[in-house]
Structure 1
Amino acid sequence: MEVEFIKLDVQHKQEVLELFNYYIETTTAAYRAQLVNEDFFSHFCESGDTYCSFAIEAKDGSLVGFCLLEAYIPISTFSKAAEVMYFLHPKYTGKGIGALALNKLEVEAKKRGITRLIADISLENVGSIKFHESNGFVEFGKLANIGEKFGRTFGIIWMQKELSS
Protein backbone atom coordinates (compact mmCIF):
# COMPACT_ATOMS: atom_id res chain seq x y z
CA MET A 1 0.00 0.00 0.00
CA GLU A 2 1.30 3.43 -0.88
CA VAL A 3 1.19 6.03 1.85
CA GLU A 4 2.38 9.58 2.35
CA PHE A 5 4.01 11.06 5.42
CA ILE A 6 2.67 14.55 6.08
CA LYS A 7 3.81 16.81 8.89
CA LEU A 8 1.30 16.35 11.69
CA ASP A 9 -0.90 19.42 11.85
CA VAL A 10 -4.15 20.63 13.34
CA GLN A 11 -6.00 19.24 10.29
CA HIS A 12 -5.18 15.74 11.62
CA LYS A 13 -6.22 16.43 15.20
CA GLN A 14 -9.60 14.71 15.29
CA GLU A 15 -8.56 11.56 13.44
CA VAL A 16 -5.31 11.18 15.40
CA LEU A 17 -7.09 11.59 18.72
CA GLU A 18 -9.76 9.08 17.69
CA LEU A 19 -7.07 6.57 16.74
CA PHE A 20 -5.06 7.10 19.91
CA ASN A 21 -8.21 6.91 22.05
CA TYR A 22 -9.13 3.64 20.32
CA TYR A 23 -5.85 2.17 21.56
CA ILE A 24 -6.42 3.64 25.03
CA GLU A 25 -9.87 2.05 25.22
CA THR A 26 -8.99 -1.36 23.80
CA THR A 27 -5.33 -2.21 24.49
CA THR A 28 -2.34 -1.66 26.70
CA ALA A 29 -0.36 -0.40 23.68
CA ALA A 30 -1.35 3.13 24.74
CA TYR A 31 -0.59 3.21 28.44
CA ARG A 32 -3.09 5.85 29.48
CA ALA A 33 -6.32 4.75 31.13
CA GLN A 34 -8.24 7.98 30.43
CA LEU A 35 -9.15 9.22 26.97
CA VAL A 36 -7.27 12.26 25.77
CA ASN A 37 -8.86 15.42 24.43
CA GLU A 38 -7.89 18.14 22.00
CA ASP A 39 -5.55 19.79 24.50
CA PHE A 40 -3.39 16.64 24.43
CA PHE A 41 -2.88 16.82 20.65
CA SER A 42 -0.01 19.30 20.96
CA HIS A 43 1.99 16.49 22.62
CA PHE A 44 2.09 14.78 19.22
CA CYS A 45 3.15 17.84 17.24
CA GLU A 46 6.63 19.26 16.73
CA SER A 47 7.10 21.24 19.89
CA GLY A 48 9.09 20.90 23.06
CA ASP A 49 10.48 17.38 23.22
CA THR A 50 9.01 16.11 19.94
CA TYR A 51 11.54 16.20 17.10
CA CYS A 52 9.15 15.32 14.31
CA SER A 53 5.69 13.89 13.84
CA PHE A 54 3.81 12.71 10.81
CA ALA A 55 0.32 11.76 9.81
CA ILE A 56 0.40 8.66 7.63
CA GLU A 57 -2.17 9.01 4.88
CA ALA A 58 -3.43 6.75 2.14
CA LYS A 59 -3.48 8.16 -1.38
CA ASP A 60 -7.17 9.05 -0.92
CA GLY A 61 -6.23 11.26 2.05
CA SER A 62 -7.62 8.98 4.76
CA LEU A 63 -5.59 8.60 7.94
CA VAL A 64 -3.74 5.30 8.17
CA GLY A 65 -1.90 6.23 11.37
CA PHE A 66 0.68 8.57 12.84
CA CYS A 67 4.27 8.38 14.01
CA LEU A 68 6.69 10.55 15.91
CA LEU A 69 10.20 10.83 17.20
CA GLU A 70 10.65 12.39 20.62
CA ALA A 71 13.41 13.01 23.11
CA TYR A 72 14.15 9.94 25.22
CA ILE A 73 15.10 12.14 28.18
CA PRO A 74 15.02 15.84 27.27
CA ILE A 75 18.49 16.81 28.52
CA SER A 76 21.69 17.19 26.52
CA THR A 77 23.30 14.12 28.10
CA PHE A 78 20.81 11.96 26.19
CA SER A 79 20.63 13.99 22.97
CA LYS A 80 21.81 11.06 20.83
CA ALA A 81 18.82 8.92 21.86
CA ALA A 82 15.20 9.28 20.80
CA GLU A 83 12.02 7.34 21.40
CA VAL A 84 9.86 6.15 18.53
CA MET A 85 6.08 6.00 18.63
CA TYR A 86 3.61 4.91 16.00
CA PHE A 87 -0.01 3.93 15.97
CA LEU A 88 -1.68 2.49 12.90
CA HIS A 89 -5.36 2.00 12.28
CA PRO A 90 -5.98 -1.71 13.01
CA LYS A 91 -7.05 -2.46 9.44
CA TYR A 92 -3.63 -1.29 8.20
CA THR A 93 -1.38 -3.35 10.47
CA GLY A 94 0.63 -6.16 8.92
CA LYS A 95 0.84 -4.41 5.54
CA GLY A 96 4.38 -3.02 5.78
CA ILE A 97 3.30 0.47 6.83
CA GLY A 98 4.97 0.16 10.24
CA ALA A 99 8.28 -0.57 8.50
CA LEU A 100 7.80 2.51 6.30
CA ALA A 101 7.07 4.62 9.41
CA LEU A 102 10.13 3.28 11.20
CA ASN A 103 12.28 3.97 8.14
CA LYS A 104 10.93 7.54 7.97
CA LEU A 105 11.76 8.07 11.65
CA GLU A 106 15.25 6.61 11.20
CA VAL A 107 15.96 9.05 8.36
CA GLU A 108 14.71 11.94 10.49
CA ALA A 109 16.76 10.74 13.47
CA LYS A 110 19.97 10.64 11.44
CA LYS A 111 19.34 14.20 10.22
CA ARG A 112 19.28 15.24 13.88
CA GLY A 113 22.44 13.34 14.86
CA ILE A 114 20.50 10.72 16.79
CA THR A 115 22.29 7.37 16.92
CA ARG A 116 19.94 5.27 19.09
CA LEU A 117 16.24 4.64 18.88
CA ILE A 118 14.27 3.39 21.84
CA ALA A 119 10.87 1.74 21.94
CA ASP A 120 8.99 0.92 25.10
CA ILE A 121 6.27 -1.62 24.45
CA SER A 122 3.60 -3.34 26.51
CA LEU A 123 4.54 -6.98 27.01
CA GLU A 124 0.99 -7.78 25.88
CA ASN A 125 1.76 -6.26 22.47
CA VAL A 126 3.51 -9.33 21.03
CA GLY A 127 3.06 -8.12 17.46
CA SER A 128 4.93 -4.90 18.19
CA ILE A 129 7.72 -6.75 19.99
CA LYS A 130 8.18 -9.09 17.01
CA PHE A 131 8.05 -6.12 14.63
CA HIS A 132 10.82 -4.33 16.48
CA GLU A 133 12.95 -7.48 16.74
CA SER A 134 12.65 -8.05 12.99
CA ASN A 135 13.68 -4.43 12.39
CA GLY A 136 16.94 -4.53 14.33
CA PHE A 137 15.81 -3.64 17.86
CA VAL A 138 17.18 -5.64 20.78
CA GLU A 139 15.76 -5.97 24.26
CA PHE A 140 17.60 -4.12 26.99
CA GLY A 141 15.18 -4.43 29.87
CA LYS A 142 11.77 -5.39 31.19
CA LEU A 143 9.62 -4.11 33.99
CA ALA A 144 7.15 -6.74 35.16
CA ASN A 145 3.68 -5.74 36.36
CA ILE A 146 4.54 -2.04 36.23
CA GLY A 147 1.22 -0.89 34.75
CA GLU A 148 -2.38 -1.50 35.66
CA LYS A 149 -5.20 -1.23 33.18
CA PHE A 150 -8.48 -3.08 32.60
CA GLY A 151 -8.27 -4.49 36.13
CA ARG A 152 -5.01 -6.32 35.53
CA THR A 153 -1.30 -5.60 35.63
CA PHE A 154 1.00 -5.64 32.63
CA GLY A 155 4.71 -5.18 32.04
CA ILE A 156 6.77 -3.32 29.50
CA ILE A 157 9.84 -4.15 27.48
CA TRP A 158 12.50 -1.64 26.49
CA MET A 159 14.10 -2.15 23.08
CA GLN A 160 16.93 -0.24 21.42
CA LYS A 161 18.32 0.05 17.92
CA GLU A 162 21.73 1.46 17.04
CA LEU A 163 21.60 3.50 13.84
CA SER A 164 24.41 3.21 11.35
CA SER A 165 25.73 6.41 9.82
Structure 2
Amino acid sequence: MSDFTLRSFRWADVPAITAIYNHYVEHTAITFDTEMPGEPAMAEKFGHLLELGHPLIVAEIAGKLVGYAYASFYRPRAAYRFTCEDSIYLHPDAKGRGIGKALLTELLAQSKAFGFKQMIAVITAETTNSIVIHEKFGFRHVGRYEAVGYKFDRWHDIVHLQLAL
Protein backbone atom coordinates (compact mmCIF):
# COMPACT_ATOMS: atom_id res chain seq x y z
CA MET A 1 0.00 0.00 0.00
CA SER A 2 1.19 3.49 -0.67
CA ASP A 3 -1.27 5.52 1.38
CA PHE A 4 1.56 6.68 3.64
CA THR A 5 4.46 9.05 3.22
CA LEU A 6 7.87 9.22 4.88
CA ARG A 7 9.46 12.46 5.97
CA SER A 8 11.99 13.91 8.39
CA PHE A 9 11.20 14.39 12.06
CA ARG A 10 9.66 17.68 13.23
CA TRP A 11 9.37 18.95 16.79
CA ALA A 12 5.58 18.82 16.51
CA ASP A 13 5.91 15.01 16.18
CA VAL A 14 6.95 14.53 19.81
CA PRO A 15 3.42 13.99 21.23
CA ALA A 16 2.53 11.34 18.63
CA ILE A 17 5.90 9.61 18.95
CA THR A 18 5.51 9.58 22.74
CA ALA A 19 2.03 8.07 22.47
CA ILE A 20 3.19 5.34 20.08
CA TYR A 21 6.19 4.46 22.22
CA ASN A 22 4.18 4.46 25.43
CA HIS A 23 1.75 1.95 23.96
CA TYR A 24 4.66 -0.48 23.64
CA VAL A 25 5.98 0.32 27.11
CA GLU A 26 2.58 -0.33 28.66
CA HIS A 27 1.45 -3.36 26.65
CA THR A 28 4.49 -5.23 25.30
CA ALA A 29 7.99 -6.45 26.01
CA ILE A 30 9.21 -5.00 22.70
CA THR A 31 10.88 -2.36 24.85
CA PHE A 32 12.22 -3.15 28.27
CA ASP A 33 11.25 0.29 29.57
CA THR A 34 8.80 -0.28 32.39
CA GLU A 35 7.75 3.32 32.94
CA MET A 36 6.28 5.49 30.22
CA PRO A 37 8.46 8.50 29.41
CA GLY A 38 6.80 11.86 29.08
CA GLU A 39 7.06 14.23 26.17
CA PRO A 40 9.99 16.18 27.70
CA ALA A 41 12.07 12.99 27.94
CA MET A 42 11.24 12.00 24.38
CA ALA A 43 11.98 15.52 23.12
CA GLU A 44 15.37 15.37 24.83
CA LYS A 45 16.12 11.98 23.27
CA PHE A 46 15.11 13.07 19.78
CA GLY A 47 16.88 16.41 20.19
CA HIS A 48 20.08 14.50 20.90
CA LEU A 49 19.58 12.42 17.75
CA LEU A 50 19.10 15.63 15.76
CA GLU A 51 22.26 17.17 17.24
CA LEU A 52 24.23 14.11 16.18
CA GLY A 53 22.69 14.19 12.69
CA HIS A 54 21.53 10.60 13.02
CA PRO A 55 18.75 9.29 10.78
CA LEU A 56 15.29 10.06 12.16
CA ILE A 57 12.29 9.34 9.95
CA VAL A 58 8.54 9.41 10.49
CA ALA A 59 5.67 7.87 8.53
CA GLU A 60 2.31 9.53 8.22
CA ILE A 61 -1.09 8.89 6.72
CA ALA A 62 -3.24 11.90 5.84
CA GLY A 63 -1.09 14.10 8.08
CA LYS A 64 -1.25 11.73 11.09
CA LEU A 65 2.02 10.26 12.36
CA VAL A 66 1.72 6.46 12.34
CA GLY A 67 5.31 5.34 12.82
CA TYR A 68 8.90 6.36 13.25
CA ALA A 69 12.39 4.98 12.92
CA TYR A 70 15.85 6.07 13.92
CA ALA A 71 19.40 4.80 14.05
CA SER A 72 21.92 5.85 16.64
CA PHE A 73 25.17 4.69 18.17
CA TYR A 74 25.10 1.07 19.28
CA ARG A 75 27.25 1.96 22.31
CA PRO A 76 28.61 5.32 23.52
CA ARG A 77 32.34 4.57 23.33
CA ALA A 78 34.18 6.13 20.38
CA ALA A 79 35.28 2.79 18.94
CA TYR A 80 31.60 2.01 18.23
CA ARG A 81 31.02 5.25 16.26
CA PHE A 82 30.54 3.41 12.96
CA THR A 83 28.02 0.92 14.37
CA CYS A 84 24.39 1.84 14.89
CA GLU A 85 21.31 0.23 16.38
CA ASP A 86 17.96 0.64 14.68
CA SER A 87 14.58 1.29 16.26
CA ILE A 88 11.23 1.19 14.48
CA TYR A 89 7.85 1.72 16.10
CA LEU A 90 4.43 1.72 14.44
CA HIS A 91 1.04 2.79 15.71
CA PRO A 92 -0.81 -0.49 16.39
CA ASP A 93 -3.41 0.36 13.71
CA ALA A 94 -0.66 0.90 11.10
CA LYS A 95 0.74 -2.63 11.10
CA GLY A 96 0.57 -4.79 7.98
CA ARG A 97 0.62 -1.91 5.49
CA GLY A 98 4.28 -2.02 4.49
CA ILE A 99 5.16 0.97 6.65
CA GLY A 100 7.77 -0.87 8.70
CA LYS A 101 9.43 -2.14 5.52
CA ALA A 102 9.47 1.37 4.03
CA LEU A 103 10.88 2.86 7.24
CA LEU A 104 13.63 0.24 7.39
CA THR A 105 14.48 0.74 3.71
CA GLU A 106 14.90 4.48 4.21
CA LEU A 107 16.67 4.03 7.54
CA LEU A 108 19.26 1.75 5.93
CA ALA A 109 19.89 4.26 3.14
CA GLN A 110 20.23 7.20 5.52
CA SER A 111 22.41 5.24 7.94
CA LYS A 112 24.79 4.28 5.15
CA ALA A 113 24.88 7.90 3.91
CA PHE A 114 25.62 9.06 7.45
CA GLY A 115 28.68 6.83 7.54
CA PHE A 116 27.54 3.94 9.68
CA LYS A 117 29.17 0.69 8.56
CA GLN A 118 27.22 -1.85 10.62
CA MET A 119 23.63 -1.92 11.90
CA ILE A 120 22.60 -3.99 14.89
CA ALA A 121 19.00 -4.93 15.63
CA VAL A 122 18.31 -5.82 19.26
CA ILE A 123 14.94 -7.54 19.35
CA THR A 124 12.92 -9.30 22.02
CA ALA A 125 13.13 -12.93 20.90
CA GLU A 126 9.37 -13.49 20.79
CA THR A 127 8.84 -10.57 18.41
CA THR A 128 8.94 -12.74 15.33
CA ASN A 129 7.50 -10.16 12.92
CA SER A 130 10.39 -7.80 13.64
CA ILE A 131 12.93 -10.59 13.34
CA VAL A 132 11.45 -11.73 10.02
CA ILE A 133 11.49 -8.26 8.45
CA HIS A 134 15.12 -7.79 9.47
CA GLU A 135 16.02 -11.19 8.00
CA LYS A 136 14.32 -10.23 4.72
CA PHE A 137 16.68 -7.25 4.55
CA GLY A 138 19.72 -9.50 4.97
CA PHE A 139 20.32 -9.18 8.71
CA ARG A 140 21.87 -12.32 10.16
CA HIS A 141 21.55 -13.70 13.66
CA VAL A 142 24.72 -13.08 15.66
CA GLY A 143 23.59 -13.79 19.19
CA ARG A 144 20.91 -14.56 21.71
CA TYR A 145 20.88 -13.49 25.32
CA GLU A 146 18.63 -15.55 27.54
CA ALA A 147 16.47 -14.14 30.32
CA VAL A 148 18.03 -10.66 30.32
CA GLY A 149 14.83 -8.59 30.55
CA TYR A 150 12.21 -8.97 33.25
CA LYS A 151 8.86 -7.44 32.39
CA PHE A 152 5.25 -8.45 33.00
CA ASP A 153 6.31 -10.96 35.65
CA ARG A 154 8.48 -13.04 33.36
CA TRP A 155 11.90 -13.20 31.78
CA HIS A 156 12.50 -12.34 28.13
CA ASP A 157 15.33 -13.27 25.78
CA ILE A 158 16.75 -10.89 23.18
CA VAL A 159 18.37 -11.63 19.85
CA HIS A 160 20.99 -9.60 18.05
CA LEU A 161 20.94 -9.39 14.28
CA GLN A 162 23.57 -7.58 12.22
CA LEU A 163 23.86 -6.14 8.73
CA ALA A 164 26.92 -4.67 7.06
CA LEU A 165 25.96 -1.40 5.42
Q: Structure 2 CA distance, aligned partners of 1:83 and 1:121?
A: 10
Note if 1:99 corresponds to 2:101.
Answer: yes
- Is the Cα contact below 8 Å between 1:44 and 1:50 reproduced in 2? no
Aligned to 1:51: 54
In structure 2, runs of 5+ residues without a counterpart are none
The two structures have a TM-score, normalised by structure 2, of: 0.91
Aligned to 1:156: 158
* Superposed CA RMSD: 1.6
CA shift for structure 1 position 48: 5.4
Q: Structure 2 CA distance, aligned partners of 1:48 and 1:137?
A: 28
Aligned to 1:144: 146
CA shift for structure 1 position 49: 5.6
Trace 1:10-21 onto structure 2 (pairs within 5 A): 10-21=11-22
- Point out the structure with the larger helix share: 2
Q: Structure 2 CA distance, aligned partners of 1:40 and 1:62?
A: 22
Note if 1:61 corresponds to 2:63.
Answer: yes
- Is the Cα contact below 8 Å between 1:49 and 1:74 reproduced in 2? no
- Is the Cα contact below 8 Å between 1:116 and 1:160 reproduced in 2? yes
Following TM superposition, the consecutive aligned residue runs of length 4 or more in structure 1 with deviations greater than 4 angstroms are none
In the alignment of these two chains, the number of paired residues is 162
- Is the Cα contact below 8 Å between 2:57 and 2:107 reproduced in 1? no
The two structures have a TM-score, normalised by structure 1, of: 0.91
Equivalent AA in structure 1 for residue 154 of structure 2:
R
Q: Residues 124 and 49 of structure 1: is their aligned pair in 2 closer, same or farther, counting only changes over 3 Å? A: farther
Q: Structure 1 CA distance, aligned partners of 2:79 and 2:32?
A: 26
Q: Structure 1 CA distance, aligned partners of 2:73 and 2:53?
A: 6
Q: Structure 2 CA distance, aligned partners of 1:48 and 1:79?
A: 15
CA shift for structure 1 position 118: 0.7
Trace 1:75-114 onto structure 2 (pairs within 5 A): 75-114=77-116
Q: Structure 1 CA distance, aligned partners of 2:14 and 2:26?
A: 18
**1:114 aligned counterpart, secondary structure:** coil
Equivalent AA in structure 2 for residue 100 of structure 1:
A
Q: Give the fraction of aligned pairs with identical amino acids, expressed as a percent.
A: 27
**2:54 aligned counterpart, secondary structure:** strand
